[in-house]
Amino acid sequence: MSATPGDTPTIVLVGHGMVGQRFLEALADRGLTTTHRVVVLCEEPRPAYDRVQLTSYFAGRSPDELSLTDMEFIEKHSIELYVGDPAESVDRAAREVTARSGNVFGYDVLVLATGSYPFVPPVPGRDAEGCFVYRTIEDLLAIEEYARTRATSGAVVGGGLLGLEAAGALKGLGLATRVVEFAPRLMPAQVDDGGGAALLRTIEDMGLTVHTGTGTQEIVVGEDGAVTGMKLSDGSAIATDLVVFSAGVRPRDRLARDCGLTVGERGGITVDERCRTVSDPRVFAIGECALAADGRVYGLVAPGYEQAETAAATIAAADDAADFTGADLSTKLKLLGVDVASFGDAHGTTDDCLDVVYSDSRSGLYKKLVVGRDGTLLGGVLVGDAEAYGTLRALTGSVPPVSPEQLVLPAGSGGGDQLGPAALPDDAVICSCHNVTKGTVRAAVTDHRCATVPEVKKCTRAGTGCGSCVKVLGQLVTAELEASGVEVDKGLCGCFAQTREELYEIVLALRVTSYRDLLDRHGRDGARGGDGCETCKPAVASIIASLAPTIGADGHVLDGEQAALQDTNDHFLANLQRNGSYSVVPRIPGGEIAPEKLIVIGEIARDFGLYTKITGGQRIDMFGARVEQLPLIWARLVDAGFESGHAYGKSLRTVKSCVGRTWCRYGVQDSVRMAIDLELRYRGLRSPHKLKSAVSGCARECAEARSKDFGVIATSQGWNLYVGGNGGATPRHADLLAQDLSDAELVRLTDRFLMFYIRTADRLERTSTWLERIPGGLDHVRDVVVHDSLGICEELETLMAAHVAHYRDEWSETINDPEKLARFVSFVNAPDTPDPVVGFVPERDQIKPDLPLLSIGLRPAHDVLEGSAR
């Protein structure tokens, strides 16, 4: 097949990584996909994915979830994407590219985005079985398989960014792990000696062995051709079954060399300020394969994105095309759970500069600012606490409004605590991934009427890259709204000026057990003495329920005032379905169920004609029960030992599990037992939003724990606890809170996390949204929950202990209370009449709802009660 330039000009992009995908988006933004044919040759067997987050694969993130390629985007813009078919040669005279498949594509413009390849030191044994590089998803899949089947120990050659990520991955796979770094410190390109020392202490405390100041002399190979050890340049030797080379990368410029393009002495395709190759104006190079006009090859994604924008603007002959003359090399990372950041002139290479240093070796904290004689902030290094990274990076090149000493002191020490977005100039870059300035963010709020962080993200792209700027972004949005005269009302609703968190504290401190009492004493002036609203009633009901044992309000959810406050589903302890019927969901902890109980569920479903379905949360749902049938069904379930599964409340749903080491050959812990223990501990726990959890018996993550509000993944040393996940409409992977925990440590930290979330979250706020919204994010939550920075952990544990001690099944109490049973009728004015609206038709040997017109004259009881709650 051959394609040559014709009436429609053709752009051929060689390489489809992160920078290549951004180039395609830039083409689309400038309308070039409508005027040009766009061909993409991708070497890997999958389209562009997030290589920055590559290591998250080992924490449960699938290759599909790492993808950056929206196939609807590809199809919408008629982009011809050839996956697994790399370019083999370029004929610049004929302006043709030949792919491995034999296809030949003519081009008017050729863009090389071939990236880089891992450097493997030329040491004996480097090609032995068990030696890997750490660059692609396929590399990770191969490492994972080898680690599970043939290795108990691993070594990483290279202690830089990717090397430490690889070491974390090997440790997560259960291997005893070593790191070998030739330089005298870890991450030599990003941190100085002090930062490297702090990082080393923290990493060694995690159980990794680190060798610095020594190189790899030889890979020792056994008789079977597989790795058995390493010899180091200092004369020592180590035993290892697996070796990962992560000793840096080199530009992939072979294609350019072969077609006669100029490359640098140390590699890289030489380009000018517009990213055109100096040899051929029809050929561009962007990303890690390009040697920029300033003589540097940039190995970070943000400069690559800038180059992609520059190349697209140049091809479009746009008036706003900007030269690429260099880029910000600032980085903020989390390695093995440790925050590491560097920005500006981090190593103090500028003449006549001064260092301001704060170091706490006990806590693994190191902060250094490089300051000019005139007070200008030139750069810095942060290890262990990078909370101030966003603000400090934006202030680089200016004189901060407070002294440098105050900027490095811990939170609460003054000075820097008050340094907010108002101190930043409009030209300060807030999002380095997309080069978005404070002025652009302000304009999004004032000119484009963006009133929330998600709206600003959509408008500017800020915060959609690495995410390190999201906190500052939120501060800017709030500050700009307030500066524009927009009153940011943080009250729960029109009835209460307080936030949900503040109301929680009031209820706890004053032992308020009644919504009416809370409204009359603390409601807004116009709301006192009123009936409240549908926003605050269920929110306050949830607060009182979550604190019930502690404040002395330990009543049933359907008792007195509490019943009138509940959401619709809670009125009948069941979920209302489309046709007015209800679902019945008994709790099945961990998905484990005895045959006798399974038979009971089948018999009930058969006798009442219910639709049955096994859910993704490892439960059996029964649909189609009429309201008057609910007590009859639950009487049989309770008699068989079942209890409410709380499918209707803002509370814990399930703790899903795999079979763990009891049955699975990969399992390293008893995930079923832990899932059952956690579900029974937290059953009935009322919270701002429903909670889901899961326990996986190994890093293969079959229970999908990282898509849950709190998820647990087994390791060979114990359990890793992840928090803030969400598998809903806006999916978010949970973040690692703590690792290698014992059973007792896991339960204690989970207790604290859940009660801290319940205490501080807004109404109907998921843990995922809460974690991103709460000041300080995950780092603050870890400080509070793990390190007890606020001194409230004992109280949080006491509150959870009270919940556990006072738990009572709502349905077992309901079926024995005639007063509560009186509500379970179809019609309040005709209690013996079944609801004629509730009808069914057959489907696949079961039933589905039939939805006829509503009957006249009878009003369903659930409508009456729902109205009373509004």
Question: Which tokens hold the place of 776?
Answer: 């300080």
Question: Which tokens hold the place of 835?
Answer: 């609801």
Name, in order, each residue with C-beta under 8 angstroms of 787's C-beta and a sequence gap of 6 or more: none
DSSP count for the chain of H helices, then E strands: 29, 39
> 393, 362, 559: which is closest to 472 by C-alpha?
393
Question: Which tokens hold the place of 551?
Answer: 């404040």
Residue 743 to residue 736: CA distance in whole angstroms: 17
Q: Does residue 793 have a known ligand-binding role?
A: no
Contact 298, 288 (CB under 8 A): yes
DSSP H helical segments within 236-353, as ranges? 254-258, 301-315
Residue 340 to residue 192: CA distance in whole angstroms: 12
Name, in order, each residue with C-beta under 8 angstroms of 154's C-beta and a sequence gap of 6 or more: 147, 170, 173, 175, 176, 177, 178, 240, 241, 242, 243, 244
Contact 724, 732 (CB under 8 A): yes
How far lies 535's CA from each of 566, 672, 821, in Å?
11, 38, 27
Backbone dihedral angles phi then psi of residue 610, each to the nearest 5 degrees: -95, 150
Q: Does residue 131 have a known ligand-binding role?
A: no
How far lies 841's CA from each of 575, 688, 848, in Å?
20, 37, 6
Q: Does residue 698 have a known ligand-binding role?
A: yes
> 154, 163, 307, 315: which is closest to 238 by C-alpha?
154
Name, in order, each residue with C-beta under 8 angstroms of 496's C-beta and a sequence gap of 6 or more: 503, 519, 522, 523, 524, 527, 536
Work out whether strand 691-696 and strand 652-657 pair parallel, antiparallel, or are unpaired: parallel
* String of DSSP letters for 721-751: EEES-B-SSS-BPPEEEEEEE-HHHHHHHHH
Is residue 470 classed exposed, middle or buried when 0-12, 13-18 and 19+ CB atoms within 10 A define those classes? Answer: buried
Write out the binding residues for siroheme: 702
Write out the binding residues for [4Fe-4S] cluster: 658, 664, 698, 702
Write out the binding residues: 658, 664, 698, 702
